[in-house]
Amino acid sequence: MLKGLIFDLDGVIADTARFHLQAWNQLAKRLDIVLPPEANDALRGRSRLDSLNLILSYGNKVDAYSDDEKAAFAKSKNDLYLELIQTLTPEDILPGIAQLLRDAKAQGLHMSIASASKNAPTILQHLQLSDAFDAIVDPAKLHRGKPDPEIFELAQQALHLNADEVISFEDASAGVQAIKAANQFAVGIGDAKVLHQADYIVPSTADLSLDAIRQAFDA
């Protein structure tokens, strides 16, 4: 029986994935690295350092910098990202999400956040959604990032539920892989070809309907 929902944040609750990409693009330019089209999905869901290493790998520059230099690059990306998210307001909650959260609450479902972002609490504050969730996984405590299932397992445990009692939402292929590795029901939001491992796929958050997802979950 369905008892809980678990949400990724960037690209699911708010359109912040584009700010991450914008900030990474600026750093890549500075380092003379051109991001390939697949970076748009590959950078989603990955921790700050994993993302930086992926970007450096696109330029064959993984070993070109010291750990201190890499830390400085990651900080400058995050400084720009923090500037970009300053402008966020509740208007930036993605279409369909506020209704989904209201419906879930009315149906007594418990909800948690499984975001790799250390900025998730700040973003939720800007969106005035800090109180909407029962738990937020602290990504600093993770041993492994998405596609490892750990973050979704912790988000499920925080709700005191079993894997077959939750539905998890993701916009990244690494995230969908993590959900499936956690044996949970995966809702993918985005390109069906990229998110093909999900149990239920919609092109955008505007297409999310709790009733329809519940039907797929029960089937």
Is 40 or 162 the residue whose CB approaches ligand BG6 more closely? 40
Q: DSSP letters of 147-188?
A: TSTHHHHHHHHHTT--GGGEEEEESSHHHHHHHHHTT-EEEE
Q: Cα dihedral angle (196, 4, 132, 211), rounded to 10 degrees?
A: 70
Window 152 to 191, contacts with Mg ion (CB under 5 A): 171-172
The count of C-alpha atoms lying within 13 angstroms of the C-alpha of 148, restricted to the half-sphere facing its C-beta, is: 12
Residues in CB range of 164: below 8 A, 6 or more apart = 183, 184, 185
Active site residue 10: yes
**Is 50 assigned a catalytic role?**
no
Q: Does 46 bind ligand BG6 (CB under 6 A)?
A: yes
Q: Where are the alpha helices (H) located in the chain, listed in sequence order?
A: 17-30, 39-42, 48-58, 67-85, 97-106, 120-126, 150-158, 173-181, 210-218
CB of 137 to ligand BG6, least distance (A): 11
10 contacts ligand BG6 (rule: CB under 6 A): yes
With binding defined as CB under 6 A, does residue 205 bind ligand BG6? no
User: Which one, 119 or 217, has the nearer CB to ligand BG6?
Assistant: 119
Of residues 8, 41, 171, 199, which has the active-site annotation?
8
Binders of ligand BG6 in range 94-133 (CB under 6 A): 115-119
* Best CA proximity match to 157, nearest among 130, 138, 176: 138
For ligand BG6, the closer of residues 25 and 78 by Cβ is: 78
Task: Decide which of ligand BG6, Mg ion, none touches 205; Cβ closer than 5 to 8 Å per partner kind.
Answer: none
Residue 10 binding Mg ion, by CB under 5 A? yes
Q: d(Cα 111, Cα 56) in Å, to the nearest integer?
A: 36
Exactly one of 11, 145, 149, 188 binds Mg ion (CB under 5 A); which one? 11
Query: Which residue lies nearer to ligand BG6 by CB, 17 or 210?
Result: 17
Residues noted as catalytic: 8, 10
Q: Which chain residues interact with ligand BG6 by CB under 6 A?
A: 9-10, 17, 20, 43-48, 51, 78, 115-119
